[in-house]
Chains A and B, each alone.
Chain A
């Protein structure tokens, strides 16, 4: 149980285009999802916290107009990279927090590799 999927697993896009990444909790409901970014050989940096039905909370330094987050249902959050540029190339990982009972376990998706040419 507690599986999180991401789609696509990798994507290549041209500079100036937008890319949408989906994060789904497959067998549990997640009122909170998190989006991370990981540069090569570096740690995960939290970009934003996404709460179902409300606006996402962005970390300092993350452009909310560039990284659009939508969490319309208890099992789906999307991250849209708008007007992508080569510096946006990175590994994007989401996690979903299971809030049933007293558990606040976070489960991570497999990640999405974005390459902007």
Chain B
């Protein structure tokens, strides 16, 4: 079975501060891992994905995530938060290869304080 755990349903950071959103995964086989962002009343937008290539993955809007197998983690970071980063962020996992369903974490709402 596959699952992801997002620590912290709400995270608040000051504008310009480091953003760190935590995600730990559980998978019996090498996983594909994703981070999505969702703005209110909108669908999901892919920020970045890990597909067994480079462990440090760079995404859009200055976000990046590092796959750490030893820690089963895939934390999302951004050096400097911007007001427009305020949104809901979802970590997701699916088995590599073929079409497989994606399992989402419970989400982390990011608040950016001016």
Q: Please tell me if B41 contacts chain A, counting CB pairs below 8 Å.
A: yes
Closest to A94 in B: B43
**Smallest CB–CB gap between A114 and chain B, Å?**
13
Q: With A93-B43, A93-B44, A110-B42 as given contacts, are A46 and B99 in contact (CB-CB < 8 Å)?
A: no
Q: Please tell me if B63 contacts chain A, counting CB pairs below 8 Å.
A: no
Contact indicator A111/B99 (Cβ below 8 Å) = no
B102 proximity list for chain A (CB < 8 A): 34, 46, 95, 106
Q: Please tell me if B74 contacts chain A, counting CB pairs below 8 Å.
A: no
Cα(A45)–Cα(B101), bound, Å: 11
Number of A residues, CB within 8 Å of B: 24
Contact indicator A43/B99 (Cβ below 8 Å) = no
Cα(A77)–Cα(B45), bound, Å: 20
Closest to A48 in B: B101
Interface class of chain B by DSSP: loop
**Smallest CB–CB gap between B7 and chain A, Å?**
14
Q: With A93-B43, A109-B43 as given contacts, are A43 and B101 in contact (CB-CB < 8 Å)?
A: no
Q: With A108-B43, A111-B41, A113-B41 as given contacts, are A46 and B101 in contact (CB-CB < 8 Å)?
A: yes
Contact indicator A104/B105 (Cβ below 8 Å) = no
Known: A49-B99, A93-B44. 10 other contacts (CB 8 A): A34-B101, A34-B102, A43-B90, A46-B101, A46-B102, A46-B103, A97-B99, A108-B36, A108-B44, A111-B41
Interface residues of A (CB under 8 A from B): 4, 6, 32, 34, 42-46, 49, 91, 93, 95, 97, 99, 104-111, 113
